[in-house]
Amino acid sequence: MLDLDIAKLSALSPFELKDQLAAAASSDAERLMLNAGRGNPNFLATLPRYAFLALGEFAMQEAARSYAYLDSGFGGLPEARGIVQRFEAYASHHATGEGVIFLRKAIAYVKDQLGLDRDAFLVEMVAAFLGCNYPTPPRMLRHVEEIVKAYLAQEMFGPIPCSGDFSLFATEGGTAAMTYIFQSLAVNKLIRPGDRIALATPIFSPYLEIPALAEYDLDVVDVRMDEHADWQFPESEMAKLLDPAVKVFCLVNPSNPPSNKLSNATLDALARLVADARPDLIIVTDDVYGTFADDFVSLFARCPRNTLCVYSFSKFFGATGWRLGTIGLHRDNVLDAALASQPEDEKQALARRYSSLTAEPAALRFIDRLVADSRAVALNHTAGLSVPQQLQMALFALNGLMDREGRYKTAAKQLIRKRYQTLYGSMGIEVQRGPNDVNYYTLIDLQELAGKIYGSAFEQWFVERDLGIRFLFRLAEETGVVLLPGNGFEVVDTSARVSLANLTEVEYASIGKFTRQVLDEYFKDFVAAVGMPATLAP
């Protein structure tokens, strides 16, 4: 066994600890390492990628038309007039290609369902593929924003009508969205050192780590989900949000790592609390896993005035490498209201900060301040997500909008849920899915598993010895399986996070078998230590 410094290892981010676990798992060159520690999916959406390639070929033909008389590889900007007709001529020669079929449907869809001009849409998409212009507007391309708004309204609002318009900022994945939000909240004095920030725990570890940075120095309040109540918030925990000193409430919904969505009852309770007692509360909801849930509704729909919505295309469409994310904010929102009510000296200071952008900097909306701050204000004119990325984002969104029978979504959900059943079945544990379970991740509660299989005495022994990280290193070293510690996400029980997105079903069966194997070995250690007969508990 490795010589472990548990105190030092426990202080690491789970994603940094992962590298050390992977090194332990790789110690046997003859053995396959099974890394379920990171949530990068091993599946992806093919149709919108075929469409990207098909549009690229057409875009190159359009570019070549402008300077066809030159023989030096010159191209030019696409001509708007007649572009849809030229695309139809191109499509007629590629009528069986999946990408072309998708694009023809998309051109019809945006006109019929979104009211967009077909020529203007296609010109924007062609120019986006070519990458020949700065992102204009910097916050998000006009047609891309309308398409992604329609997609988010479909996926985040469920049966709730969208009340009022909202704006989007296209970002370099959800990670950039998180970074920009904290940065602009601080710069605009909406959070200050020493202020309280509430986190719905367990939670994705950067939400725990960012508030502790010196530039923010926030006082973190845990609003803890109850594992034994379907990972929902007890009333006593939600009551912590009544404290007016809590300026911001951050949550991941569906949760990471428990992978449960907030129930309708919980959404109702939070909406009542905000409306009745905390109309000033700023909410940041990270809803990247919402598209894997059944009948999902976001707090962005239930508390529209208070909520910043972070959504990433990375997981559902298998696009982590594309770095595609958005920040959504309703036109009527508490952040702009808070800016308007600031003391005059702070307004003036902020007006000086943004004075190069507009003649009325005090009226600059928070979402536009996010864009400016992302490029140190002075480079606002060259801000924005690269336009080829925005094109692929639009095609992903159109894939979701045009999949009327939900075939891709159904296949994605079935894939991860079958892996969930296989994992636990291979440990000899029977599990039942609840209505709020999502199963992109699962938390293996090691101490609960120990008690369920071998009894309460072994469970107590396991907990007293704080075997969580040792268990993970033993698992990695002996079997090649890499899992992340639950405590890195503020999980109370000794547990391990398993991503159900990035390995094959056969490999999840092996993870389940090896997890049980190492637990059995610890039970033998327990028997040797306390002198009990090696018999299973009833």
pLDDT in tens, 246-296: 999 999 999 999 999 999 999 999 999 999 999 999 999 999 999 999 999
Residues 6 or more apart in contact with residue 234 via CB below 8 angstroms: 226
**In the CATH scheme, what architecture does the domain 142-149+159-378 have?**
3-Layer(aba) Sandwich (3.40)
Pick the CATH number of 46-130 from 3.40.50.150, 1.10.20.110, 3.10.560.10, 1.10.10.10: 1.10.20.110
Only one residue has tokens 């077909």, namely 118
Q: Looking at this protein, which amino acid is placed at residue 505?
A: E
Q: How far is CA 367 from CA 211, 327, 364, 371, 496, in A?
A: 21, 8, 8, 7, 37
Residue 500 half-sphere exposure toward CB, CA atoms < 13 A? 29
Which of left, alpha, beta for 73 (phi over 0: left; psi -120 to 50: alpha)?
Answer: left
Spans in the chain with pLDDT lower than 70? 1-7, 9-15, 17-18, 24-25, 27-33, 491-493, 532-538
Where are the chain's structural domains? 6-31+407-530, 46-130, 142-149+159-378
Predicted local distance difference test score (pLDDT) of residue 538 = 40
Predicted local distance difference test score (pLDDT) of residue 12 = 64
Task: Give the 3-state secondary structure of residue 330.
Answer: strand
Predicted local distance difference test score (pLDDT) of residue 267 = 98
Rounded CA-CA distance 513/118 in Å is: 55
Pick the CATH number of 6-31+407-530 from 3.90.1150.10, 2.70.98.30, 3.40.50.1820, 3.10.450.50: 3.90.1150.10
Rounded CA-CA distance 499/256 in Å is: 10
Predicted local distance difference test score (pLDDT) of residue 99 = 97
Predicted local distance difference test score (pLDDT) of residue 492 = 65
Annotate 21-56 with DSSP letters as a single string: HHHHHTT-TTS--EE-SS---S----HHHHHHHHHH
Average pLDDT over the chain, rounded to whole? 91
Residues 6 or more apart in contact with residue 402 via CB below 8 angstroms: 102, 105, 106, 109
Rounded CA-CA distance 416/46 in Å is: 18
